[in-house]
């Protein structure tokens, strides 16, 4: 019975062909390059985006105009890239502002005692109680329509979720044994915060920031689409799609299809890049 | 006790379990949590696998039952009543001839009433009667069946988990740390059910961190260290340090309160940074260069040991 | 005082309602501040540029008084608030009707749209999430997960446009917009017509809504399948089917219900965009018109009503939790 020449395989884990690390890095690299390319090209595209050319009106997509042209003969690819880069800038700015608000409020809620925590938590509930898009409409109504309005609206309305995350992280850290021990050992509060808290929370903050991007971009586009955001002379993605509505029934499908796809791809890539970053700093989410 | 005329219920040879894990920055590493483990349970025997908390002993139970997490590899030969088991055969036997008594109430579905869980959602009269008889036997009030797991006291929960095992008329019970948080007297009492079960000619594999408890109830003890069993010895050998074989077992023995409470320095190595050869090497007073080679298991005085210096 | 085994739940309801009322008042104050801060002049918005030029100073003063231009903001809010609790939300500048009756009509339209999408996306997302979670890593999981990630990044209004292109322009089987066909008296609209006009908006909203619920249910399902009690059920030799039916489904119901009720806010946001594309006469479209047309009372009313909807959804979710989960339902009796 003890002739253990062969060993029974009890369980075999099906590994992926590409390991998780390479896959994550690949997504991160490709996503970042693609997004950077859209931003840079969109910024450099300049006047082509607004140059009208009445000899080239309503062209179907073709080699010279991959996304076609509109009723004023403007190249849709150039308009789309320009519009997308504007959206990315706004998204970047808005995300940073929201993330900073979130960091301050989250840290305050977690460290300044029960009362402050209750107030901030209540305030989060309050802001999350108004459907986000309606809140955006209200804020841009308060500030006045236009670029400034949409930037402020998007920037000051995206903090609640990240605030909750940061608050939770810090609260958890405060309970962690090594922090408590550091406190008992007489390390100063300042030192604990700088040496132990920030290095742990900062990566979470960074990931949260990147994951705010897609929301900010989508909301900017939506608000602009509804007529509250960027002014019509800007080639914003929301403007392009809003205008395309009028030409849909004329069969000009390319006016809506391609710009929307670029918007979707951008949002998706930001999401994937954020997700990859999270996997890098939080290996438990990659335990597969 | 591992004489040739003795019939084995369970025999495990060269069991290994390894995980693939990601660390910060997604570095991938293979962790061999269990390595070349051997252990056996004979008819009428209660065998205890003793090891430190958090050393991966539970995976032994999970491997025998084929319920390991999916991100690991496992290999090794398992015989049940002289039949070499395939993964498929394990699936057929578990819950029938081989049962698990888990460590805590979290192994019960929090949203299903206890009685229904014990009966595996069957409502036939015969199953119901059996459940009621078992509740009587383990002194659980009949209305326990209508409670949810969160409403059970610690002692009740343990007995309920026991009834789940007994519903099936098993041959082998694998008890994974079944007495957490109990002091020795209470734990011994809880163990009496396992003792009775074994005495009827069945087998019990008790997995525990509590060596004092194991000494009280087990017939044989397998000492688990860094993913493998370093020594398997009849419980009588633990009467004196001289009859023990492995330096780790001896150190454990000396650390017992009745033997002087001598602590011994160092910690078990993690699966990540396992030393070459004998895993106990770095902490061993008898360490020699040969210890870093391949250590074969040897049979000494009816016990098995993985140590080249053992006598 | 002991009021039986339900005292815990009753106390909970009471507390929740007080919290909701406090939040609603806060929402109304916040919204009031926002619409008051607006550079939009309500008088100008009400009578238009031409009207302003032709208006006598006397009438202008009367209108300014009506809109409370010179009243301090706190007093104005108090007036609004006291009117509001008596059911008077002011009158809409755009519709020239009481805000309450405008909202009533729009609310019903929106509810039909949102409920359809909510039920449909909830049910389908739940099923897809469970299937994906059970078959983690297999092709079906990859397909469902990929689809959900894609949809989650999809702009609602763009999907609406694409569906219009396919079904209305290309296939010409469904109407482009407007819940009532142009030129037909609203009273003569048949149910069939209404349904036809509901299909595309509801479809858009459902497709978008599925993503979030699917992804969350999938995560939860994976968590649950790794729980001790599932492991133990397996160790007891239960079949996969029995484990799913008796343990996995039972345990995933709770988070799924919570999530579904918590998603009301998102569905409302989606409906604003969808209603705009399809000219569907609901709350969302009214909110956009109010925002663009400077109709502050209507915007304020919609904000408060939609917040009430969101908080109400959360409350229902918590109550259902208490009814379904024995740890909460029976917990108080054993403490």
Is pLDDT at C312 greater than 80 in this prediction? yes
Tell me which of A126-130, A134-138, C147-151, C176-180 is least confident: C176-180
Our CA-based measurement puts residue C228 at a distance from the nearest CA of chain B, in whole angstroms, of: 5
Contact C295, C254 (CB under 8 A): no
What is the predicted pLDDT for the residue at C8?
67
Q: Does A134 touch chain B (CB under 8 A)?
A: no
Cβ within 8 Å, pair C266-A132: yes
Task: Work out the number of other CB atoms within 10 angstroms of the CB of residue A173.
Answer: 17
Q: H helices then E strands: how many in chain B? A: 8, 12
3-state secondary structure (DSSP) of residue B304: strand
Residue in C226, C246, C325 nearest the CB of B121: C246
| Cβ within 8 Å of B, C 305-324 | 324
Element (H, E) at B208: strand B203-208
Categorise residue C30: left if φ over 0, alpha if ψ from -120 to 50, beta otherwise.
alpha
Q: How far apart are CA A273 and CA A267, in angstroms?
A: 10
N- to C-terminal Cα distance for chain A? Answer: 37
Is pLDDT at A285 greater than 60 in this prediction? no
Cα-flanking dihedrals φ and ψ of residue B39, to 5°?
-160, 155
Q: How far apart are CA B279 and CA B282, in angstroms?
A: 8
Contact B18, B227 (CB under 8 A): no
Contact C88, C293 (CB under 8 A): no
What is the predicted pLDDT for the residue at B252?
84
Strand order in the sheet with B98-101: B98-101, B172-176, B203-208, B46-50, B220-225, B228-234, B303-305, B298-300
pLDDT digits (tens, 9 = 90+) for A249-269: 777 788 888 899 999 999 999
**What HEC string does B117-182 produce?**
HHCCCCCCHHHHHHHHHHHHHCCCCHHHHHCCHHHCCHHHHHHHHHHHHHCCCCCEEEEECCCCCC
Q: State how far the alpha carbon of A243 is from the alpha carbons of A32, A238, A248, C172, in Å.
A: 30, 9, 9, 21
Which chain C residues touch B168 with a CB distance below 8 Å? Answer: 236
3-state secondary structure (DSSP) of residue C236: coil
Cα-flanking dihedrals φ and ψ of residue A169, to 5°?
-60, -50
Q: How far apart are CA B172 and CA B41, in angstroms?
A: 9
Q: How far apart are CA A23 and CA A19, in angstroms?
A: 6
Residue of B271 and C166 predicted with greater confidence: C166
- CB pairs < 8 Å spanning A and C: 148
Contact C66, C268 (CB under 8 A): no
In Å, how far from its chain's centre is CA B118? 22
3-state secondary structure (DSSP) of residue A105: helix
What is the predicted pLDDT for the residue at B5?
45
Instruction: For domain B8-97+169-305, give the CATH number.
Output: 3.40.50.300
CATH number for position C137 = 1.10.3720.10
Cβ within 8 Å, pair A10-B90: yes
What is the predicted pLDDT for the residue at A5?
63
pLDDT band at C179 (very low <50, low <70, confident <90, very high): very low
Contact C107, C305 (CB under 8 A): yes
Q: Is the alpha carbon torsion for B48, B49, B51, B55 positive or negative?
A: negative
pLDDT digits (tens, 9 = 90+) for B188-231: 877 888 898 999 999 999 999 888 888 888 999 998 888 888 88
Which chain C residues touch B97 with a CB distance below 8 Å? Answer: none
Whether this model's ipTM surpasses 0.95 comes out as no
Q: Is the alpha carbon torsion for B248, B252, B253, B259 positive or negative?
A: positive
Residue C38 lies in a domain: no
3-state secondary structure (DSSP) of residue A243: helix
Which chain B residues touch A2 with a CB distance below 8 Å? Answer: 13
| Cβ within 8 Å of A, B 18-37 | 20-28
Cβ within 8 Å, pair C326-B164: no
Residue in A10, A25, A280 nearest the CB of B75: A10
Mutual angle of helices A198-226 and A76-111, in 10-degree steps? 140
Q: Does pTM top 0.95 for this prediction?
A: no
Gyration radius of chain C over CA positions: 25
3-state secondary structure (DSSP) of residue B46: strand
Contact B222, B50 (CB under 8 A): yes
What is the predicted pLDDT for the residue at A287?
42
Q: How far apart are CA B26 and CA B199, in angstroms?
A: 51
What is the predicted pLDDT for the residue at B278?
82
Cβ within 8 Å, pair A280-B26: yes
What is the predicted pLDDT for the residue at B25?
55
Contact C323, C13 (CB under 8 A): no
Residue in A9, A19, A279 nearest the CB of B75: A9
Which chain B residues touch C227 with a CB distance below 8 Å? Answer: 106
Spell out the residues 6+ positions from residue C89 whose beta carbon is closer than 8 angstroms to its own: C83, C98, C99, C100, C103, C297, C300, C301
Contact C293, C226 (CB under 8 A): no
Cα-flanking dihedrals φ and ψ of residue C200, to 5°?
-65, -45
3-state secondary structure (DSSP) of residue B221: strand
In Å, how far from its chain's centre is CA B281? 24
Residue C257 lies in a domain: yes
Report DSSP state, residue A235. -
Residue in C153, C165, C310 nearest the CB of A129: C310
Residue C104 lies in a domain: yes
Among the ranges B126-135, C10-19, C86-95, which has the highest mean pLDDT value? B126-135
Q: Does B65 touch chain A (CB under 8 A)?
A: no
| Cβ within 8 Å of A, B 83-102 | 84-87, 90
Gyration radius of chain B over CA positions: 20
In Å, how far from its chain's centre is CA B104? 15
Q: State how far the alpha carbon of B216 is from the alpha carbons of B180, B192, C334, in Å.
A: 16, 10, 37
Contact C44, C52 (CB under 8 A): yes
Contact B11, B37 (CB under 8 A): no
Cβ within 8 Å, pair B26-A1: no
Q: Which residues pair with B228 in a beta bridge?
A: B225
Q: Which residues of chain B have pLDDT under 50?
A: 1-5
What is the predicted pLDDT for the residue at C185?
54
Mutual angle of helices A254-281 and C139-152, in 10-degree steps? 120
Residue in C226, C228, C331 nearest the CB of B107: C228
For strand B28-42 and strand B203-208, is the pairing parallel, antiparallel, or unpaired? unpaired
Q: Does B38 touch chain A (CB under 8 A)?
A: no
Cβ within 8 Å, pair A11-B68: yes
Q: Does A276 touch chain B (CB under 8 A)?
A: no
Q: How far apart are CA C252 and CA C58, in angstroms?
A: 66
Our CA-based measurement puts residue A13 at a distance from the nearest CA of chain B, in whole angstroms, of: 5
Cβ within 8 Å, pair B99-C227: no
Residue in C23, C291, C296 nearest the CB of A129: C23
Report DSSP state, residue B242. G
Q: Helices in chain C by DSSP H: which ranges?
A: 7-37, 42-54, 57-66, 73-85, 99-134, 139-152, 156-163, 191-225, 228-235, 240-243, 249-262, 264-278, 283-293, 296-324, 326-329, 331-334
Is pLDDT at C184 greater than 80 in this prediction? no
Which chain C residues touch B150 with a CB distance below 8 Å? Answer: 326-327, 331
Q: How far apart are CA B174 and CA B97, in angstroms?
A: 11
User: What is the average pLDDT score of chain C?
Assistant: 84
CA-based nearest residue in chain B for residue A285: B22
Which chain C residues touch A35 with a CB distance below 8 Å? Answer: none
Q: How far apart are CA A36 and CA A33, in angstroms?
A: 5
Among the ranges A174-178, C63-67, C161-165, which has the highest mean pLDDT value? C161-165
What is the predicted pLDDT for the residue at A284?
57
For strand B172-176 and strand B98-101, is the pairing parallel, antiparallel, or unpaired? parallel
Contact B217, B186 (CB under 8 A): no
Cβ within 8 Å, pair A134-C306: yes
Element (H, E) at B49: strand B46-50
**What is the residue range of C224's domain?**
100-294
CA-based nearest residue in chain C for residue A221: C155
What is the predicted pLDDT for the residue at C188?
57
pLDDT digits (tens, 9 = 90+) for C239-265: 889 999 999 998 998 888 888 888 888
Is pLDDT at C183 greater than 60 in this prediction? no
Residue C230 lies in a domain: yes
Cβ within 8 Å, pair A138-C299: yes
Instruction: For domain A21-40+68-287, give the CATH number.
Output: 1.10.3720.10
Report DSSP state, residue C181. -
Residue of C228 and C188 predicted with greater confidence: C228
Element (H, E) at A269: helix A254-281
Spell out the residues 6+ positions from residue C155 whose beta carbon is closer than 8 angstroms to its own: A218, A221, A222, A225, A241, A260, A263, A264, A267
Is pLDDT at A15 greater than 70 in this prediction? no
Residue in B15, B28, B72 nearest the CB of A19: B28
Give me the mean pLDDT over the C112-118 stretch. Answer: 93
Q: Does A137 touch chain C (CB under 8 A)?
A: yes
Residue in C137, C169, C303 nearest the CB of A138: C303
Cβ within 8 Å, pair C326-B108: no
pLDDT digits (tens, 9 = 90+) for A144-202: 888 888 999 998 899 998 999 999 988 888 887 777 777 777 777 777 777 777 888 88
Cβ within 8 Å, pair C231-B99: no
Tell me which of A67-71, C107-111, C305-309 is least confident: A67-71
Taking Cα atoms as reference points, which of B294, B297, B264 lies closest to residue B282? B264
């Amino acid at each position: 019975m003890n002739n253990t020449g062969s060993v029974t395989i009890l369980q075999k884990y099906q590994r992926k062909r590409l390991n998780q690390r390479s896959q994550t890095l690949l997504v991160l690299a490709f996503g970042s390059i693609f997004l950077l390319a859209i931003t840079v090209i969109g910024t450099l595209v300049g006047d082509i985006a607004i140059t009208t050319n009445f000899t080239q009106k309503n062209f179907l997509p073709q080699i010279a105009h991959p996304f076609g042209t509109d009723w004023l003969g403007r190249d849709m690819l150039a308009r789309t890239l320009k519009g997308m880069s504007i959206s990315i800038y706004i998204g970047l700015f808005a995300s940073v502002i929201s993330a900073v608000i979130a960091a301050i409020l989250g840290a305050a809620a977690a460290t300044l005692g029960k009362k402050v925590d209750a107030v901030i938590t209540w305030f989060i509930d309050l802001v999350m109680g108004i459907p986000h898009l309606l809140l955006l409409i209200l804020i841009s109504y308060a500030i006045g329509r236009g670029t400034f309005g949409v930037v402020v609206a998007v920037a000051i309305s995206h903090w609640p979720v990240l605030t909750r995350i940061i608050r939770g992280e810090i609260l958890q850290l405060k309970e962690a044994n090594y922090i408590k021990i550091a406190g008992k050992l007489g390390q100063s509060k300042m030192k604990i915060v700088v040496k132990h808290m920030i290095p742990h929370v900062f990566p979470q903050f960074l990931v949260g920031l990147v994951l705010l991007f897609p929301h900010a971009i989508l909301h900017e586009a939506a608000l602009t689409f509804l007529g509250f955001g960027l002014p019509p002379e800007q080639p914003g993605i929301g403007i392009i799609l809003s205008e395309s509505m009028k030409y849909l029934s004329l069969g000009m499908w390319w006016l809506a299809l391609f710009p929307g796809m670029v918007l979707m791809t951008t949002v998706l890539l930001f999401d994937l890049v954020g997700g990859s970053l999270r996997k890098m700093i939080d290996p438990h989410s990659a335990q597969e | 006790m591992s004489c040739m005329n003795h019939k084995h219920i369970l025999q495990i040879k060269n069991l290994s379990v390894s995980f693939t894990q990601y660390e910060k920055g997604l570095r991938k590493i293979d962790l061999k949590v269990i390595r070349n483990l051997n252990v056996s349970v004979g008819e009428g025997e209660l065998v205890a696998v003793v090891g430190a908390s958090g050393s991966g002993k539970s995976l032994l139970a999970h491997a025998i039952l084929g319920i390991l997490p999916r991100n690991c590899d496992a290999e090794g030969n398992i015989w049940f009543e002289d039949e070499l088991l395939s993964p498929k055969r394990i699936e057929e036997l578990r819950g029938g001839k081989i049962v698990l008594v888990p460590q805590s109430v979290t192994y019960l579905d929090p949203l299903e009433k206890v009685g229904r869980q014990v009966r595996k959602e069957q409502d036939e009269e015969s199953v119901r009667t059996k459940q009621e008889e078992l509740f009587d036997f383990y002194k659980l009030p009949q209305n326990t069946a209508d409670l949810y797991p969160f409403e059970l006291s610690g002692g009740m929960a343990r007995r309920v988990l026991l009834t789940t095992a007994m519903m099936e008329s098993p041959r082998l019970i694998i008890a994974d740390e079944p007495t957490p948080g109990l002091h020795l007297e209470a734990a011994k009492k809880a163990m009496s059910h396992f003792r009775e079960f074994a005495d009827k000619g069945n087998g019990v594999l008790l997995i525990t961190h509590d060596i004092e408890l194991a000494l009280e109830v087990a017939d044989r003890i397998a000492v688990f260290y860094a993913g493998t069993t370093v020594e398997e010895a009849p419980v009588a050998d633990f009467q004196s340090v001289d009859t023990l074989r492995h330096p780790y077992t001896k150190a454990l023995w000396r650390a017992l309160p009745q033997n002087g409470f001598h602590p011994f320095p160092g910690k078990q190595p993690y699966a990540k940074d396992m030393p070459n050869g004998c895993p106990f090497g770095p902490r061993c007073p008898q360490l020699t260069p040969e210890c870093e080679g391949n250590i074969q298991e040897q049979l000494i005085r009816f016990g098995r040991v993985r140590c080249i210096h053992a006598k | 005082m002991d009021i039986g085994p339900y005292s815990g739940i009753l106390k909970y309801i009471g507390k929740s309602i007080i919290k909701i009322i406090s939040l609603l008042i806060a929402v109304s104050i916040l919204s009031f501040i926002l619409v008051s801060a607006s550079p939009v002049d309500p008088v100008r918005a009400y009578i238009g540029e031409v009207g302003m030029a032709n208006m006598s100073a006397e009438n202008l003063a009367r209108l300014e008084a009506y809109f409370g231009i010179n009243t301090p903001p706190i007093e104005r809010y108090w007036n609004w608030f006291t009117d509001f609790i008596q059911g008077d939300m002011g009158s809409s500048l755009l519709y020239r009707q009481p805000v309450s009756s405008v909202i009533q009509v729009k609310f019903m339209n929106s509810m039909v749209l949102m409920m359809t999408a909510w039920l449909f996306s909830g049910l389908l997302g739940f099923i897809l999430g469970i299937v994906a979670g059970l078959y983690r890593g297999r092709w079906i999981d990859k397909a469902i997960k990929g689809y959900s990630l894609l949809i989650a990044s999809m702009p609602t209004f763009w999907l609406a446009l694409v569906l219009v292109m396919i079904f209305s322009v290309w296939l010409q089987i469904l109407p482009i917009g407007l819940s009532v066909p142009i030129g037909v008296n609203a009273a003569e609209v048949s149910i069939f017509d209404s349904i036809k006009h509901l299909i595309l908006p509801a479809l858009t909203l459902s497709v978008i809504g599925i993503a979030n619920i699917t992804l969350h249910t999938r995560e939860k399902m994976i968590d649950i399948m790794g729980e001790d009690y599932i492991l133990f059920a397996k160790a007891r030799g239960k079949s996969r089917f029995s484990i799913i039916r008796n343990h996995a489904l039972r345990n995933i119901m709770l988070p799924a219900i919570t999530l579904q009720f918590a998603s009301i806010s998102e569905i409302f946001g989606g409906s604003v965009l969808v209603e705009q594309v399809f000219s569907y006469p609901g709350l969302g479209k009214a909110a956009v018109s109010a925002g663009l047309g400077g109709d502050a009372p209507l915007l304020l009313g919609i904000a408060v009503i939609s917040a009430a909807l969101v908080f109400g959804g959360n409350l229902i979710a918590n109550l259902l939790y208490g009814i379904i989960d024995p740890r909460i339902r029976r917990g108080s009796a054993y403490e």
